[in-house]
Structure formats: C-alpha cells, structure tokens
C-alpha cells in the first residue's frame, strides 16, 4: 500500500520537472510524487511503450505529463528533449537524472566497450543533460525569496563507497556522477543559484535495478547478509527527491543523500 506523503500537496506548484529514465522503476515513482505535489512532468526514455504507459498513468492522476523519446548518450537527443519540454511547459525548474544502464558481470568477462557503455549512460549522460539544461535552469526555480535557479538531482548508488562484486562499471560510473554533482554544485551554485544534489538509493524492492543487480541466487548464497538486507521502497527515494527539489532543501547543495536504511555500512556482499 502506498504511504501517504508528509509533504504539502502544493509544495512544487507551478514547477516543471524533466526526468531521464522517468518512465519506470525509481524514476517513475519520482515522476509521480513530484507530479502529485504540483509539478508538471516531462519524462525522457528510450522505449516508446514504456513512456506511453507512464504518461497515461501520470495523467490518470491529474498530472500534466508528456513523454519524450531519447537516449541520454546522444547530445542531439538531450537538446531536442529539453527544447520540447520548454516548448510544451514553458520552463524548467527540476532536472532528475535517473537513466542508468547496468548488468552483473565479473571483470574478466566485461569488455572495455561494455564498461564504456555504462559510463556513457550514467556519467556522460548525466553530464550531457546537465550541460544542455543549464540555460533553462538558470531561469527556473521557485523565484520566491531564496534562489532563482532551478535544481538538479542525480540518482547515484552506494556501490562505490566500498567495492561491489560484478559491478566495476556501475561503481565507476556512479563515482563519476557523485563527482559531477559536487563540481556542478560549486560552479553553478555560486554563479547561478542552481542546487545540484544526488540521491544514493540502497536496495529498493520492485525495481529493475534490484531484480537485475541482486538476483535471488546471489542473495541466497549469502545467508549472513540476507539478515542484514533491509529493502527500501521507491517511495523512500521519491520523498528524498521531494525534499531536495523543494524549498525544504534550499540550503542543500553538492551532497549525495544516502537513502538505504544504513545498508551500505554492511558492504561488501557477494
Ligand atoms: C557483459 C554486456 C552485458 C552483460 C551488455 N554488455 N550487456 N557484457 N554482460 N550482461 C556489453 C556488450 O557485450 C557490449 O560490449 C556493450 O556492453 C554494449 O552492449 P549493447 O547491448 O550494444 O548495449 P545497449 O543496447 O546500448 O544497452 C546497454 C545496456 C542497457 C547497459 C545493456 O540496455 C541496460 O542495461 N539497460 C538496463 C536499464 C536498467 O536496468 N536500468 C535500471 C538501472 S538501476 P561489446 O564489447 O560486446 O561490444 C541502476 C542501479 C544502480 O542503475 C546500482 C544500484 C545498486
């Protein structure tokens, strides 16, 4: 059963959010929660049918929503999707980079191109979206008392805090994402009042990431760690996104908020 939100329903009223990977998993839940708290939602993804069903679902809750096909690895797609968002909704206040690629693979079986593919999606894709969104985000934001710039949330992970089996590519990619978050926060926070933060989810049930990265056979191999494995919900991540995207987080810039129930403290599991 979906938990009620502790945030006021109009906390993001009048704002426009673009979410990469916003059609499924954690990205969709963030789209939904930003939407029911007042934001208009543009979601970007590679799969048309996923976008269509996500948009229909958002609209069925009364959320103004559009789906825009695109691959974050292509700069021209990023530019086109941002232009379409502005054309449709007139502004951009919140960019959420939730698109990610991953698969479990031992290092010895991962080709350099496989490694590069995940870096391209997660790290370069995040950078590209931020870079192309800057000119719009400069004008976005709540425009109340505190800041005029918009805000960015980069979805990260906790894999790279220690080391994670079979995920050298994702770990390296998310380490780069965290670094990008800090560098952008420094430059754009200072120059444009744009806040850039990250969220590092732990194991979140009912997501493609969890079913791919923590398959049953891997969990059951290590019964000791199963005892420590406390699963989160997509809702938990979306609440963190609401905090960071709203004025509640107006003094938070350059941080990556770990939302994992303390799970990473017990890494590393195989
Ligand atoms: C080994 C693999 C592989 C696998 C792909 N490659 N899958 N290598 N094992 N399972 C290699 C290929 O051999 C190839 O290298 C290179 O990667 C590119 O493969 P393509 O199939 O051409 O890539 P593409 O079609 O672009 O797809 C990329 C993809 C993507 C990364 C595989 O489709 C994908 O993973 N999508 C999943 C989306 C998803 O689950 N999102 C949820 C994210 S959750 P060679 O050398 O052969 O050319 C998340 C959580 C993070 O990110 C951590 C939380 C704990």
- This prediction's pTM: 0.93
Residue 8 lies in a domain: no
Distance 241 CA to ligand 1 centre (A): 26
Measure the CA–CA gap between 159 and 104, rounded to whole angstroms. 12
Distance 118 CA to ligand 1 centre (A): 6
Protein residue with least CA distance to atom 34, ligand 1: 101
Sheet holding 151-155, edge to edge: 65-69, 40-45, 16-20, 94-97, 151-155, 195-201, 256-259
In this prediction, residue 79 has a pLDDT band, given cuts at 50, 70 and 90, of very high
pLDDT score at 142? 53
ipTM for the predicted complex comes to: 0.94
CATH number at residue 80: 3.40.50.720
Residue 31 lies in a domain: yes
- Domain interval for residue 151: 16-263
* Structural domains counted in the chain: 1
Residue 45 lies in a domain: yes
The total number of residues shown for the chain amounts to 270
Protein residue with least CA distance to atom 14, ligand 1: 114
Task: List pLDDT tens digits, range 25-72.
Answer: 999 999 999 999 999 999 999 999 999 999 999 999 999 999 999 999
Distance 77 CA to ligand 1 centre (A): 19
What average pLDDT does this structure show over 91-105?
97
202: part of which helix (H) or strand (E)? none
pLDDT score at 8? 96
Measure the CA–CA gap between 238 and 204, rounded to whole angstroms. 11
Helix (H, G, I), strand (E, B) or coil at 236: helix
User: Distances from the Cα of 251 to the Cαs of 34, 182, 194, 243, in angstroms?
Assistant: 19, 14, 11, 11
Distance 162 CA to ligand 1 centre (A): 22
In this prediction, residue 227 has a pLDDT band, given cuts at 50, 70 and 90, of very low
Please report the atom of ligand 1 found closest to the CA of residue 103.
10
Q: Which long-range contacts (CB under 8 A, 24 or more apart) does 57-61 make?
A: 57/28, 57/32, 58/31, 58/32, 61/32, 61/35, 61/36
Pocket of ligand 1 (CB under 6 A): 25, 100-103, 105, 109-111, 113-114, 117-118, 157, 159, 170, 208-209, 212-213
Is the separation of the CB atoms in 270 and 165 below 8 Å? yes
Task: List pLDDT tens digits, range 196-213.
Answer: 999 999 999 999 888 877
Q: Which two tokens stand for residue 194?
A: 């744009």
Task: List pLDDT tens digits, range 234-258.
Answer: 999 999 999 999 999 999 999 999 9
In this prediction, residue 217 has a pLDDT band, given cuts at 50, 70 and 90, of low
pLDDT score at 205? 92
Is the separation of the CB atoms in 218 and 161 below 8 Å? no
143 has a pLDDT exceeding 70: no
Residue 232 lies in a domain: yes
Whether omega for the bond prior to residue 268 falls within 30 degrees of 0, making it cis, is yes
Residue whose CB lies within 8 A of the most ligand 1 atoms, among 27, 46, 47, 103, for a mutation test: 103
Is the separation of the CB atoms in 129 and 72 below 8 Å? yes
Q: What is the DSSP-derived secondary structure letter of residue 5?
A: P
Q: What mean pLDDT, rounded, does the chain reach?
A: 92
Q: Which residues contact 120 (CB under 8 A, 6 or more apart)?
A: 73
Is the separation of the CB atoms in 216 and 228 below 8 Å? no
User: Which stretch of 45-49, 110-114, 122-126, 202-206 has the lowest confidence by average pLDDT?
Assistant: 202-206
Residue 75 lies in a domain: yes
Q: Please state whether beta strands 256-259 and 16-20 pair in parallel, antiparallel, or not at all (unpaired).
A: unpaired
pLDDT score at 34? 98
171 has a pLDDT exceeding 70: yes
Residue 5 lies in a domain: no
């Amino acid at each position: 059963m979906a938990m009620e939100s502790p945030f006021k329903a109009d906390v993001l009223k009048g704002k426009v959010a673009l979410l990469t990977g916003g059609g499924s998993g954690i990205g969709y839940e963030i789209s939904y929660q930003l939407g029911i708290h007042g934001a208009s939602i543009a979601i970007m993804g590679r799969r048309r049918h996923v976008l269509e069903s996500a948009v229909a679902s958002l609209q069925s809750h009364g959320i103004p929503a559009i789906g825009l096909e695109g691959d974050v690895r292509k700069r021209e797609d990023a530019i086109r999707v941002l232009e379409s968002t502005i054309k449709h909704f007139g502004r951009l206040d919140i960019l959420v980079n939730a698109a990610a690629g991953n698969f479990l693979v031992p290092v010895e079986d991962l080709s350099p191109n496989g490694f590069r593919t995940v870096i391209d999606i997660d790290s370069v894709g995040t950078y590209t979206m931020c870079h192309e969104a800057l000119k719009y985000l400069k004008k976005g934001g709540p425009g109340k008392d505190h800041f005029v710039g918009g805000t960015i949330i980069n979805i990260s992970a906790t894999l790279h805090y220690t080391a994670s089996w079979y995920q050298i590519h994702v770990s390296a990619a998310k380490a780069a994402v965290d670094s990008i978050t800090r560098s952008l926060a420094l430059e754009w926070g200072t120059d444009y009042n744009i806040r850039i933060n990250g969220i590092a989810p732990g194991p979140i049930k009912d997501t493609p990431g969890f079913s791919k990265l923590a398959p049953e056979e891997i969990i059951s191999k290590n019964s000791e760690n199963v005892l420590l494995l406390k699963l989160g919900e997509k809702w938990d991540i979306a609440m963190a996104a609401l905090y960071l995207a709203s004025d509640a987080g107006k003094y938070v810039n350059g941080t990556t908020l770990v939302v994992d129930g303390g799970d990473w403290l017990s890494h590393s599991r195989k």
